[in-house]
Every structure is written in structure tokens, then in C-alpha cells.
Amino acid sequence: MTQYIAFLRAINVAGHAIVKMDELSSAFVSAGCKDVKTVIQSGNVLFGSAGRDPSAVVEKVKRTLHKSLGSEVTMMIRRLSEIERLVETDPFKDFEADSDAKFYVAFLSERPRRKPSLPLLSDKEALEAFAIQDREAFIVSRRKANGFYGFPNNFIESELGVQATSRNWSTIGRIVALS
């Protein structure tokens, strides 16, 4: 059995597409997944599935969630081993962690359609996408003058021309620790 992580896009964000974690877990179990665990409310699901291609299972989960939400659900699926390697390599190791910076990984639906010149910068959102590796983009978000941090998802989707869902780097560490 192969272990996977599903990163759901745009659920439980600012009152949009609210899904309870037990409902989310049930959708995966009813699709035939094993060892299902949800992590945080932002739509992160660890699950086991037979075979190397979980696409049939994912489609069943999407149909189930579509019925309850009334809208299409987008998921970025990765093998747990891919995420473990990502954490081991720590793409943020050259950045100093401080209270004015947050680190994000944007999981892309596919490889970017255009090859950008890095770093990608958004002065308005105080974002710096410093690396893209396969289907992941790595972003530093700095505290803006208003005290808030920029959130990278819309910026990354616009710059790379593909759908994405972003997670705080500490969330990725938590997911690997729970696995």
C-alpha cells in the first residue's frame, strides 16, 4: 500500500467551502482508502491506497465532496515519500527564520506552463518565490507595513499559469511528523 497526501485547495478558508474533518475523512474511507488521517482544518489528508496511481480513488472523493459542497474540489496529490524528501532537503535552510517571515510551499497541479525567471517578487504582497522544483514552488512571505503577511496562492497561480494550493512550511513538518 502506498501512502499519499491530498492537499485540498480552497476549503475552510474565510468561511468558504466548509468541510468538517470527519466528513472529509469519511469521503476518503468510502472511496476505499486506508489509514486516513486529516491534519489541521485546511484540507490535508494522509491516506493509503493500493497501486501507484490513486487517480480513481481521488475522483471518487471529489464526487463525494462535490455532492456535499455543491462545487468542484481541487486536490494536489503527492506520495508521502515525496514530502518526506522535501522536508529532508529543507528548501528554506538558507533563510533566517524570524518573526517577520513565513515560509510557504505551493503545491502545483502540474509543472508550470512557462519557465519564470527567479526570484518572482510581489512588492504589494511582500512575497518572494525563490525556487520551483518539479510541482512545488517555495515562497517567503514577509510582514507588510500593515502588519499582515502576503498569502502566495493567487500570486503563484498568476505567475505560473497553473492551479496551486499553499501550505505553511511548519504545516508540512507537522504532516510528516504525524505520518
- Please identify which residue in the block is written with the cell numbers 468558504: 16
Average pLDDT on 37-42 reads 83
Single out the residue in 63, 83, 103 at which a domain terminates: 83
Q: Which domain holds residue 39?
A: 2-83
| pLDDT the model gives residue 37 | 93
| 126 or 16, greater pLDDT | 126
The CATH number linked to 37 is: 3.30.70.1280
pLDDT-based confidence at residue 14 (cuts at 50, 70, 90): low
pLDDT-based confidence at residue 179 (cuts at 50, 70, 90): confident
Residue 174 shares a structural domain with residue 94: yes
Distances (CA, A) of 6 to 16, 26, 90, 152, 168: 18, 14, 20, 19, 15
Residue 109 shares a structural domain with residue 167: yes
Distances (CA, A) of 84 to 31, 54, 131, 158: 25, 18, 18, 28
Identify which of 49, 44, 69 has the alpha carbon closest to the alpha carbon of residue 171. Answer: 44
Residue 50 shares a structural domain with residue 107: no
Taking the whole predicted model, whether its pTM rises above 0.85 is answered as yes
Residue 67 shares a structural domain with residue 114: no
Residue 73 shares a structural domain with residue 99: no
Q: Provide the number of structural domains found in the chain.
A: 2
| 111 or 145, greater pLDDT | 111
pLDDT tens for 68-90 read 777 788 899 999 999 999 999 99
Most confident of 16-20, 97-101, 174-178: 174-178
Residue 174 shares a structural domain with residue 96: yes
| pLDDT the model gives residue 60 | 87
Residue 109 shares a structural domain with residue 156: yes
Are 6 and 76 contacting, i.e. CB atoms less than 8 angstroms apart? Answer: yes
Percentage of the chain lying above the pLDDT 90 cut: 56
Q: 140-170 as b/e, with b when 16 or more CB fall inside 10 Å? A: bbeeeeeeebbbbbebbbebbebbbbbbbbe
Residue 120 shares a structural domain with residue 102: yes
| pLDDT the model gives residue 41 | 74
Average pLDDT on 122-147 reads 93
